[in-house]
Amino acid sequence: MAEWDSAALERLEHVTGTPEVTDLLAVVRQQVGYVWRANLQRQEPAALGDTSQTLGWLSAVNIAQLLARRFPQRAQLEEEDRPGITAGLVGGALAIRTGNVITRLRKAPGTSLNPDLTALTWEESTGIGRHRAADANSRAYRPTHSDQDERLIPLEDGLWSLNDPDGLRNLMLVWAGDPETGLTAGWVGFPSAGAPSWFAVQSVWRDEPTQSGGVPVIPNRPTPVDDSFADRAAPTPVLRPRPRPGHEQRP
């Protein structure tokens, strides 16, 4: 037996090897690293009560907003005729389409760069978009046989087996960040509504410490951000002489 379904893993390797998805994963890695380390610098645990939970939540929101700006906007996820990478915030959650594949993001709980991915679940309470992605995968790929550990084959009433893993079109990218070192890591896979909660997962990146033992606190900003107050040009004051009494300008 294997940890992942071998047919699903082959499909995953094919999808992540396509140029568009490869480019997307590279952009996500860059954005995650920049946001995570930038937010580490502006944490105020003592003064403002910041915690690892607020750090993770803020970073996830920042990453979603910046990635949504990075790519052309998509009004409906069902549109498949637009080339390249498109993105949209569906119900406040980021969804990125590359061809017929949709990628969503999730922050791994905790602060470890070695999270237990098999412990993640996709109930509606954790995000309706994630739940729908896992459900869509489980309805599109229902193999008669699987070599995956603990994969249950019995189907619900009214469903029939589907052995073609090409029906798997919903990716979940899970990322993690270490608040001590600023290092990040990421994995991508096909979530499943059944047990276990993944058909297949593979590692995308894992930061390694530099020779000095860490990473640059803030690397070069990966995407232009034009609404930062600190980056705005200072306004030029307009000076006018104050009129003297009895010498007001007439229209």
Predicted local distance difference test score (pLDDT) of residue 237: 55
- On average, the pLDDT of the chain sits at 83
* 196 in Cβ contact with 151 (< 8 Å): yes
Tell me the three state secondary structure of residue 104.
strand
Count H helices and E strands in the chain, helices first. Answer: 5, 6
Rounded Cα distance between 116 and 109, Å, is: 9
Tens digit of each residue's pLDDT (9 = 90 or more) over 59-75 = 999 999 999 999 887 65
Min mean pLDDT across 45-59, 118-132, 160-174, 222-236 is at 222-236
Q: Label residue 227 by pLDDT band (50, 70, 90).
A: very low
Cα 23 from Cα 17, distance rounded (Å): 10
Q: What does the alpha-carbon distance between residue 54 and residue 51 come to, in Å, rounded to a whole number? A: 5
CA distance 50 to 52: 7
CB atoms within 10 A of CB 178: 16
Instruction: Decide: 188 and 176 in contact? Cβ < 8 Å.
Output: no
Beta strand 184-191 pairing with 198-206 = antiparallel
250 phi and psi, to 5 degrees? -95, 150
b/e sequence 9-40, b meaning 16+ C-beta within 10 Å: bebbeebbeeeebeebbebbbbbbbbbbbbbb
In tens, the pLDDT along 166-225 reads 999 999 999 999 999 999 999 999 999 988 999 999 999 999 987 555 555 444 455 444
Which of 228 and 49 is assigned the larger pLDDT? 49
Q: Is 53 helix (H, G, I), strand (E, B) or coil?
A: helix
Q: How many other C-beta atoms can be found within 10 angstroms of the C-beta atom of residue 45?
A: 11
Q: For residues 169 and 137, give the distance between their C-alpha atoms in angstroms, rounded to a whole number.
A: 7
What is the predicted pLDDT for the residue at 43?
80
> pTM to 2 decimals?
0.80
pLDDT on residue 45: 75
Q: Give 11-68 pLDDT, tens digit per residue.
A: 999 999 999 999 999 999 999 999 999 999 988 877 777 778 889 999 999 999 999 9
If DSSP codes are grouped into helix, strand and coil, which group holds residue 74? coil
